[in-house]
Chain A
């Protein structure tokens, strides 16, 4: 069996998948749930509830605020306490809906049974109907970025989808929520993949899984043994294989051109395994997206684990249930150590894209002191997009935005491989992000003219 991987760059961080073999537990309900209105890429959702309104689990509390947007559903039953602002994982103060939890009453139309609903038993589901249900349920990419899923399934007229690629890579260190989901809900994921294939009108799907998860590869190969059009693709462990463009390259050996091209321009629709599961629940169980699998982990955390969490649950509650923060300095990440966001406050809630709460303690929490660039070129070697990070970082700090655009800064996927590999511990990505942001806004204002 040939093991594939992407072709340019990449690094090998220590895995630290401490929680890999820990079965998922159901997290306790929060006392108060917080729902940020922008949990996805695109326009923030618009609240449709007011202070004092009673809501149930699965009640719509905010509708999509535009085409690229997604509705938000309550994950708890109770009373809307207030519509306010609060600091989210990005560190900015953003509008939120806060609900005081009372009991656990669900909307009646949600199918809470474990019965596996097969697509083959529901011939009435047309692609349009599937996409509509995904859109209404507020399903967004579950891998972290949070792009509304239904938009990916409706490619622009210039592109034609040929296959669905399911991302079961989980290349970030520490995180195991996708792995647990794959081990515990393989049948539902496969039905979700079938739904995605039908919705995108393609008859081929690939599930890419890194070879550090041999059990998941084996399980899915058994489950798909008599399904002709779903293929399991084992991939050699390398970061950032979970990046869309890297995954497409690794699985079907096609390289997505520079932005604004997206994977569907080479025929691929990429969805996370978590998204496939959410799609199954949305379409077959009428269950909107309001809970998710999240890993709470860290070398110094006493009882790390994988949890089925209601969105809106504050980080502090999950961390306390795992034994609390270790003494000393800590860095608490929404996500993994490579691309996760360090939160400023533990009141930040779990959102649609929160695949992990990773706690780095003591030595790991701090950056090392910066030394001069020795021009070793290791960042150039590590860049999966074929860029020159050292140059982009220098140009960014010199504010040479024109040159920066010529050097393809907009292709940067912020994976952090450059900074990970830098012997001088230079803040390469910090600089590049600053420059990339400036260049993006210059491009935007140019397009407006």
Chain B
């Protein structure tokens, strides 16, 4: 006869696992990955693969040789970080820069704090922002579409975001006429412009990913909806006040907003625990993004906004409590 097992209750488990959640994110990214392959071709594949491979390798190497613990690559978190880092890079970035980004993302962004679950900042964004300030030229040259077989030699062009910045700087609203219309932005098919990072091209593909994440209950609606809602309302007010500021739909469908709102800001580890806190966090990210886009020195503010709010997450967790049962008695 076998043993009698004794433990405290509960003895049942809902079969949720870390792996299911992490691979859920990977599956949700598939539409955006496919679209990026169509638009950027080989460059996208090279950057994404090298990013994932180096993130996984660095996590393995650090756990094995520096922390001397059993590497937990199978939980999928390094793959997610690698994919998201890759999605946040231009498709013509040299592999060695991608590797530097992965080293910073996993090495400094994640493992220095103790690995999965302990990092205060989103590791992929730490990596991306490090690259952005260290390699400003390479990180802001954006390939245009239709160069399937070109990698580092792809033609580049200005992105919608830089056009929007020019409009504000010059105070001339007619500059905005160069922008593609909302449908083109939604599909990512802006013919002569730079397309931005690998992951942010097609808002529609990212929204498909959002539907999957919500369906599988990997994330809840609170963070993405509050970010996108705030951006629409805030940029709408600015647009009505002064037409040099782009209209809300353009703001939502351009740049890293969708990618950030759906995949980056919703990172479990660095976002607040309660729904109330998540809404405060989302509203603040939306607000900061528009502030940085319009009045900051960078054309895109999503990454910075998320990193800033990551720093506020512990504070939000401390002060924003869920409603206790029986708190308000009728």
Complex Cα distance, B324 from A8, in Å, reads 9
Is A408 touching B324 in the complex (CB atoms < 8 A)? yes
Is B5 touching A366 in the complex (CB atoms < 8 A)? yes
Which residues of chain B are within 8 angstroms of A427 by Cβ–Cβ distance? Answer: 8
Which residues of chain B are within 8 angstroms of A327 by Cβ–Cβ distance? Answer: 1-2
Which residues of chain B are within 8 angstroms of A328 by Cβ–Cβ distance? Answer: 2
Is A414 touching B329 in the complex (CB atoms < 8 A)? no
Which residues of chain A are within 8 angstroms of B72 by Cβ–Cβ distance? Answer: 371
Q: Tell me whether B242 is interfacial, beta carbon within 8 Å.
A: no
Which residues of chain B are within 8 angstroms of A433 by Cβ–Cβ distance? Answer: 8
Is B11 touching A385 in the complex (CB atoms < 8 A)? no
Report whether over half of chain B's contact residues are helix, strand or loop; otherwise say mixed. Answer: loop
How many interface residues does A have (CB within 8 Å)?
76
Complex Cα distance, B57 from A162, in Å, reads 66
Which chain B residue shows the least CB distance to A418? B10
Which chain A residue shows the least CB distance to B115? A372
Which of B3, B16, B220 meets A329, CB within 8 Å?
A: B3
Q: Tell me whether A51 is interfacial, beta carbon within 8 Å.
A: no
Complex Cα distance, B109 from A271, in Å, reads 54
Q: Tell me whether B184 is interfacial, beta carbon within 8 Å.
A: no
Is B7 touching A367 in the complex (CB atoms < 8 A)? yes
Is A331 touching B21 in the complex (CB atoms < 8 A)? no
Please report which residues of chain B, range 263-311, place their CB below 8 angstroms from some CB of chain A when the two chains form the complex.
268-275, 278
Which of A332, A390, A411, A422 meets B324, CB within 8 Å?
A: A411
Complex Cα distance, B268 from A375, in Å, reads 6
Contacts A372-B117, A411-B325 given; does A337 touch B12 at CB 8 Å:
yes
Q: Tell me whether A261 is interfacial, beta carbon within 8 Å.
A: yes
Is A333 touching B117 in the complex (CB atoms < 8 A)? no
Which of B4, B13, B270, B274 meets A344, CB within 8 Å?
A: B4
| Chain A 313-357 interface mask (CB, 8 Å, partner B; 1/0) | 000000000000101111111010111111111100000000000
Minimum distance in angstroms from B75 CB to a CB of chain A = 7
Is B9 touching A341 in the complex (CB atoms < 8 A)? yes
Contacts A331-B4, A372-B118 given; does A387 touch B324 at CB 8 Å:
yes
Report whether over half of chain A's contact residues are helix, strand or loop; otherwise say mixed. Answer: loop
Q: Tell me whether A177 is interfacial, beta carbon within 8 Å.
A: no
Please report which residues of chain A, range 382-437, place their CB below 8 angstroms from some CB of chain B when the two chains form the complex.
383-388, 390-391, 408, 411, 414-417, 419-425, 427, 429-430, 433
Which chain A residue shows the least CB distance to B327? A386
Contacts A328-B2, A331-B4, A365-B5 given; does A419 touch B10 at CB 8 Å:
yes
Which chain A residue shows the least CB distance to B12? A337
Complex Cα distance, B12 from A381, in Å, reads 18
Q: Tell me whether B116 is interfacial, beta carbon within 8 Å.
A: yes
Contacts A375-B273, A380-B322, A387-B324 given; does A416 touch B2 at CB 8 Å:
no
Is A374 touching B269 in the complex (CB atoms < 8 A)? yes
Selected A-B contacts with CB under 8 Å, 22 pairs = A8-B325, A12-B14, A173-B12, A329-B5, A331-B7, A331-B11, A337-B9, A337-B12, A342-B8, A342-B9, A371-B72, A372-B115, A377-B274, A386-B322, A416-B10, A417-B10, A422-B13, A422-B16, A423-B16, A425-B17, A429-B8, A433-B8
**Sample of 10 further A-B pairs with CB below 8 A, known A338-B12, A342-B11:** A11-B14, A91-B6, A255-B328, A338-B10, A343-B4, A344-B6, A371-B72, A372-B118, A411-B325, A415-B10
Residues of A within 8 A of B (CB): 8, 11-14, 91, 173, 245, 249, 254-258, 261, 266, 325, 327-333, 335, 337-346, 360, 364-368, 371-378, 380-381, 383-388, 390-391, 408, 411, 414-417, 419-425, 427, 429-430, 433
Sorted from nearest, which 5 A-B pairs have the closest CB atoms? A416-B10, A337-B12, A372-B117, A255-B326, A377-B273
